[in-house]
Chain A
């Protein structure tokens, strides 16, 4: 049973470019969560999605960040016009239902130059 998949594992973008991070949940999981790990701030919740719906985006920055989880395909975290402060590890997690254990992917390490 494959775990949570994330790609790319490493992503380098120049300031002002767009970053797209992909997450495929575990088989049978329809709940997806995104977290960000900044060097001095630890791991923080960003957004919680179910298929075609954003349930809670209280941790998302108000500008430049968006997320989706379409009916078909992976969940996407999109960062427009990246800045150096966006450099971080972005983790995706999935669970089979809202109140169950979350399983994490290997993360995408974004570096903005």
Chain B
């Protein structure tokens, strides 16, 4: 099956810093989503981005499908950005089942 690798596994930053999270995938995908799992365990949709670039406030994402990677940018980090960021891809025929990466754990210190 498809492999989804995220880097770095852990990232510790000071408030106000910028960060780039990467997601590599080993095969062509139909869809790609980015999620934030907050400290309470909830999965928050960030982007639905099978290709191209999207921006939402301080967050933006770019997916280069032909090169099989996606990037999530977080600017001017806040402590509420802490948590685990997951990339998930759908490569299946017929049924959309997301395959998740192992996540990047982001800690923003005040």
Q: Which of B31, B45, B99 contacts A104 (CB 8 A)?
A: B45
From 30 to 82 in chain A, residues with beta carbon under 8 angstroms from any chain B beta carbon are 31, 33, 35, 42-45, 48, 55-56, 58-59
Instruction: Determine whether the beta carbon of A101 is less than 8 Å from that of B48.
Output: yes
Nearest-CB residue, chain B, relative to A56? B95
Q: Which of B30, B35, B94, B96 contacts A95 (CB 8 A)?
A: B96
Nearest-CB residue, chain A, relative to B49? A101
Given A99-B31, A101-B33, A102-B33, the answer on whether A45 and B99 have CB atoms closer than 8 Å is yes
CB distance from A41 to the nearest CB of B (A): 9
From 79 to 104 in chain B, residues with beta carbon under 8 angstroms from any chain A beta carbon are 86, 88, 92, 94-103
Given A42-B103, A101-B48, A102-B33, the answer on whether A56 and B94 have CB atoms closer than 8 Å is yes
Q: Chain B contacts of A22 at CB under 8 A?
A: none
Instruction: Determine whether the beta carbon of A55 is less than 8 Å from that of B35.
Output: no
Instruction: Determine whether the beta carbon of B33 is less than 8 Å from that of A109.
Output: no
Q: Does A25 contact B (CB under 8 A)?
A: no
Instruction: Determine whether the beta carbon of A99 is less than 8 Å from that of B30.
Output: yes
Q: Which of A35, A55, A99, A107 contacts B42 (CB 8 A)?
A: A107
Knowing that A45-B99, A58-B97, A98-B96 are A-B contacts, what are 18 other residue pairs whose CB atoms are under 8 Å apart, sorted by A's residue number?
Answer: A33-B96, A42-B102, A42-B103, A43-B86, A43-B98, A45-B98, A55-B95, A56-B97, A59-B97, A89-B41, A91-B43, A99-B31, A101-B45, A101-B48, A102-B33, A106-B41, A107-B42, A107-B43
Q: Which residues of A contact B (CB under 8 A)?
A: 31, 33, 35, 42-45, 48, 55-56, 58-59, 89, 91, 93, 95, 98-99, 101-104, 106-107, 109
